Structure 1
Amino acid sequence: MIKAKIHDKEKERLALLKSYSILDTLAEKDYDNLTKLASEICQTPISLITLLDDKRQWFKSRHGLDIYETPIEHSFCAHAITGDEEIFTMNDARDDTRFNYNPLVTGDPNIVFYAGIPLKDSSGLPLGTLCVIDNKPRTLTDSQKESLNILSEQVINLLELRKNKLELERAHRKLKKFSKKLEKKVLQRTNQLEIKTIKLELINNDLASFNHICSHDLQEPLRKIQMFISQVSDSEFKNLSADGKHKLERIDLSASRMRNLIQDLLTYGSTENVENRLMNVSLRKLVDDVKVVLSEELKENNTVLKVLSDCEITVRPIQFKQLLFNLFTNAIKFTKKKDFPTIEVSAEIIEGVAYPNLNLSDEVKYARIFVADNGIGFEQKYATKVFEIFQRLHSDEEYQGTGIGLAIVKRIITTHNGEIRVKSSLGNGAIFEIFIPLAN
């Protein structure tokens, strides 16, 4: 047995691997679906997504193998990442002096055939491999090699999406910490108006970061994932088993969920930047406009949407219609099983001074708007949490969503210098109460 040589840029390679914070993480379905699909396509009992540090090869996903890692000196993948081949193939390891006394060949899992594609980032440094393994000699077809290469690119895209998400979370933590420190200083030196101005500047910085990541860093790899899924479907779908076809469809659904998340992030980031002026407009007119957009969903779900009372409100119409759209779609989504959604909208004019427990001006009149539904509701203790970005009260298996819809609603209310609160209980729907200042 001959141990693989160390990569020419091993120090940079290990630093890159560390930046993904991926080692020793829990299993994830998206990665497991790829290894299962690789085994189906190549007709091998074992497929692995392997990541190599300086002492071991660790398996992020393992199909057909019970162990989580092996020493790097026994690793076939260590040879694959230091070679020049696009795909490192060993038809019969027993005949090769590099592997014939390898414990993984002479003992469990008795590797005979191995094929691995290095997982390289944009700089060309390898993190590990996507490999397939068999305990008997075999040769991959050109179609199988091409499909394995497509799947390896999808692994890289998943890793890049993970890294971008971690960077976004770190940026948010730093921004939140900085915001708290700055707000404390400002509270000591300025009045309430100056505080709001500085908060808006922080929000704009936050939005700039969101828009950059969503518009490029996340959307570009997602487009590649969907393109690769389409290619595999066109060239290999008919050759897959029923289980393999199911896994490919699951990957496609995961990509669709990520696309919806990115679109919601872009909507969240754009609420501050919509350039339309405040206007006096009938609430009923805005509701009717949204009903046109949602006509198919309303009809499909037998939804009853009624405006019980109307008044003129002072809003940016584009933003406020987005707010109503999110509340209505939430009401439809979270309807109790076997029930038809019912949504009731009403409004009245009130004086701000009548609500001392809210941050309303004593000298301004407000439109007090109610949006009530008959959905599944939630415990009142979550009344604040539901407006926080990425916060969800249900799993994807129960209700699909991104956890951004009500955060968008909250942000739109903030841009209108208004307030929003919600009353709910389990099984009894929710009532959203919105306060929007009227123009003088």
Structure 2
Amino acid sequence: MIAPQFPVDEEQRLASVRSYNLLDTLPEKDFDNITSLVASICDVPISLVTLVDADRNFLKSYYGLNFNESPRNISFCGHAILEDSSIFIVEDARKDPRFMNNPLVKDMQAIFYAGVRLINSDGYPLGTLCVFDTKPRTLTKSQKNALISMAYQVVNLFEARKRNRMLMAVQQELEDKNEELKNFAGIVSHDMKMPLANMIITSDMLRSKYASLLDKQGNEYLEYIKQSSFTLSEYITGLLEHYESDNTASLTDEIFDSNDLLEEIIELLNINIDCEINLPEQNIEMQANRAALEQIILNLVGNCLKYNDKERIKIDIECTEERGFYHFSISDNGMGIQKNKLSAIFDLFVTTGILDRNGKKGNGIGLSTVKKLVTKLGGEIEVSSKLGKGTTFQFSIKKK
């Protein structure tokens, strides 16, 4: 018997083998199906998927055996990974100097062997897809081709599992980072709310007490401080709502009437300008996440009011139920949105650049939060608009 030598790049090869995290793992149906199929095609009693480790041959799948590893120094696969041929065949191991007196030949009657190297994308042989028989024999051309083809599929499974594992690790890292960001945003936002409120109150107190001592420019500065504080406070509120949207979307569903919800939202908006809001003619009994839906509609109707330059604002709201979804449409006669801005309107921190009716610029948080909530509720949202004419938002949420 001759023990197999080590490849010249053994250190790198072993690193590749271990990068797949398959050593010492349990059998898997995908691999077992392949070894079972190969055994049938080649008409042999034993078929294996092996990984050649530093000092052992680990059997990821073993058809016809009841153990999952053997010493590397007696393995046929240790020799097979050294060969450049497409398939390594030993027709009668009893006559081959490399395998004479090999315990596998003597004790298991491993007489015939055929193995195809499992070569990964970096060119390293990780192990083999191989078959054994207890008698001397040959393989037909079609059997050889099948063995080579199935080895290719084994490598594909290796690579797919490695990619999936890496993607899961990246996903977990992103989730951890997002959670850290949410916590950071929550802490910072809450900590900033009180100082901003103090700035607003202080600016009012200064103007009330010292307005007569300040010139026009001084009073304008105080007003600027107050309005800037309000803007930053609104930004922080929007940021908190965005990062709390996951919690909002997970709240328990309720049963309620669609028009009751819409009327409550209109009251919350406390509209003090000339505005006509047309509610749906049909009142629908809904079962959905009321809090999330309220936040969605409150944001969209709020935008209809803010981004409207008409003397009389008109808002039309429609609500229907169809094929397991609630469908909403909210249209206005406002400023409209540029066509080249529509594709990015729901991206976080993206704004149209248009000032609202009070001369303020949006922060790009509200519509991103709306899109996030709609998606979490199993629906979709889209927007259409004509500049100077108005905008229509249409969204759906899944019926529970």
TM-score by length of 2: 0.54
Question: Could you tell me whether the CA contact under 8 Å between 1:34 and 1:151 is conserved in 2?
Answer: yes
Amino acid aligned to 1:106: K
Aligned to 1:43: 43
CA distance in 2, matches of 1:57, 1:88: 16
Are residues 356 and 128 of structure 1, via their aligned partners in 2, closer, same or farther at CA, if it must alter by over 3 Å?
closer
Q: Tell me the matched-pair count.
A: 245
Q: 2:238 aligns with which of 184, 193, 216?
A: 193
Question: Could you tell me whether the CA contact under 8 Å between 2:374 and 2:397 is conserved in 1?
Answer: no
Map 1:185-264; keep pairs closer than 5 Å. Answer: 185-190=184-189, 191-195=236-240
Q: 1:348 aligns with which of 279, 284, 295?
A: 284
Aligned to 2:6: 6
What secondary structure is seen at the aligned counterpart in 2 of 1:27?
Answer: coil
Map 1:7-406; keep pairs closer than 5 Å. Answer: 7-107=7-107, 109-190=108-189, 191-195=236-240, 348=284, 355=290, 360=295, 363=298, 364=301, 367=319, 369=321
Consecutive unaligned residues in structure 1, runs of 5 or more: 201-309, 312-345, 374-406, 422-431, 434-440
CA distance in 1, matches of 2:237, 2:166: 32
Offset of 1:23 from its aligned partner? 1.3
Offset of 1:96 from its aligned partner? 1.3
Aligned to 1:219: none
Are residues 189 and 69 of structure 1, via their aligned partners in 2, closer, same or farther at CA, if it must alter by over 3 Å?
same
Amino acid aligned to 1:53: D
Offset of 1:188 from its aligned partner? 2.6
Amino acid aligned to 1:98: R
CA distance in 2, matches of 1:154, 1:347: 57
Q: Percent identity at matched positions?
A: 38
CA distance in 2, matches of 1:128, 1:186: 49
Are residues 78 and 183 of structure 1, via their aligned partners in 2, closer, same or farther at CA, if it must alter by over 3 Å?
same
What secondary structure is seen at the aligned counterpart in 2 of 1:51?
Answer: strand
Question: Could you tell me whether the CA contact under 8 Å between 1:358 and 1:419 is conserved in 2?
Answer: no
What secondary structure is seen at the aligned counterpart in 1 of 2:130?
Answer: strand
What secondary structure is seen at the aligned counterpart in 1 of 2:136?
Answer: coil
Are residues 194 and 372 of structure 1, via their aligned partners in 2, closer, same or farther at CA, if it must alter by over 3 Å?
closer
CA distance in 2, matches of 1:355, 1:408: 12
Amino acid aligned to 1:413: G
Offset of 1:413 from its aligned partner? 3.4
Are residues 73 and 197 of structure 1, via their aligned partners in 2, closer, same or farther at CA, if it must alter by over 3 Å?
same
Aligned to 1:343: none
Offset of 1:348 from its aligned partner? 3.0
What secondary structure is seen at the aligned counterpart in 2 of 1:171?
Answer: helix
What secondary structure is seen at the aligned counterpart in 2 of 1:413?
Answer: coil
Q: 1:410 aligns with which of 366, 376, 384?
A: 376
CA distance in 2, matches of 1:360, 1:198: 13
What secondary structure is seen at the aligned counterpart in 2 of 1:97?
Answer: coil
Amino acid aligned to 2:238: L
Question: Could you tell me whether the CA contact under 8 Å between 1:2 and 1:98 is conserved in 2?
Answer: yes
Are residues 362 and 99 of structure 1, via their aligned partners in 2, closer, same or farther at CA, if it must alter by over 3 Å?
closer
Offset of 1:7 from its aligned partner? 1.4
User: Which structure has the larger Rg over C-alpha atoms?
Assistant: 2
CA distance in 1, matches of 2:45, 2:378: 53
Consecutive unaligned residues in structure 2, runs of 5 or more: 190-235, 246-257, 260-281, 302-316, 326-372, 383-393
Aligned to 1:332: none
Offset of 1:189 from its aligned partner? 3.0
Offset of 1:194 from its aligned partner? 3.0
Cα deviations across residues 210-244 of structure 1 (Å, max 9, x unaligned)?
A: xxxxxxxxxxxxxxxxxxxxxxxxxxxxxxxxxxx
Are residues 112 and 127 of structure 1, via their aligned partners in 2, closer, same or farther at CA, if it must alter by over 3 Å?
same
